[in-house]
Amino acid sequence: MCGRYTTLTPAAGLAKRFGATLAEPTEPNYNAAPSQRLPIIINAAPDTIQLVQWGLIPGWVQDLKKAVKPINARAETLADKPSFRQLLQRKRCLVLADSFYEWQQTPQGKVPHRIMLRDEQPFAFAGLWDEWLDRQTGEVLPTFTIITTEPNELMARLHTRMPVLLPGPEAEQAWLADTLSPADHQHLLVPYPTDGMMEYAVTTRVNSPAHNDAEVLEAA
């Protein structure tokens, strides 16, 4: 799964890397967590970076308080679940990041690790988004979820799942493209090459989303 990540790249750097303008200012996030508003690019507005809440609330949800709000969606079953199948067809997004965290189960307890690309450049997770309408207030709430897949060799040492990191601008544009079929989009949802990634253990300070500063990046 993917339950925590970073977006440390300055706003100008994100705009340049993804060829998009920011709809509103962003701040470095050392410990991005569910329910926070985080930078994504949706297929309906591929030239704009928007801040959207993490934790999917599908448009068909009736009771917001009872909604599950999944932060992840399994790539292998997207086409089997009606709500995800429709979003795969109509509402895909890039979730902008530059590293993520995973917790390795050990005899001594769970050990957090930080995972990133070898060149330490920003990248995009494949995601799905939707909008929920509050029929009482008229407020529209956009949300997103991150797609996960089987782990590559590096990630298999840490966990049984990993987020889908799209391998560069060409794959990112293909994921957003409305001209491709759902099958073509599904083919993009594969593990990132092991030799393009690196990781290291960090302190348990990252365990709490309240700790959102450079100290959470320090090696254990």
Mean residue pLDDT across the chain: 95
Regions in the chain scoring below 50 on pLDDT: none
Contact 202, 216 (CB under 8 A): yes
Q: What is the pLDDT of residue 204?
A: 95
Task: Judge whether 2 counts as a catalytic residue.
Answer: yes
CA distances from 80 to 58, 74, 86, 177 (A): 16, 10, 10, 22
Task: Judge whether 24 counts as a catalytic residue.
Answer: no
Q: What is the pLDDT of residues 41-92, one digit of tens each?
A: 999 999 999 999 999 998 888 877 778 889 999 999 998 888 798 999 999 9
Q: What is the pLDDT of residue 66?
A: 78
Q: How many C-alpha atoms does 36 have within 13 Å on its Cβ side?
A: 21
The active-site residue out of 93, 102, 172, 199 is 102
The active-site residue out of 2, 93, 172, 199 is 2
- Cα gap 190→163, rounded to integer Å: 9
pTM strictly above 0.95: yes
Question: What single letter denotes the amino acid at residue 155?
Answer: M
**Residue partners of 161: CB distance under 8 A and separation at least 6:** 1, 2, 72, 74, 148, 149, 150, 151, 155
- Cα gap 61→21, rounded to integer Å: 31
Question: What single letter denotes the amino acid at residue 118?
Answer: R
User: What 3-state DSSP class applies to 185?
Assistant: helix
The 8-class DSSP code of residue 219 comes to: B
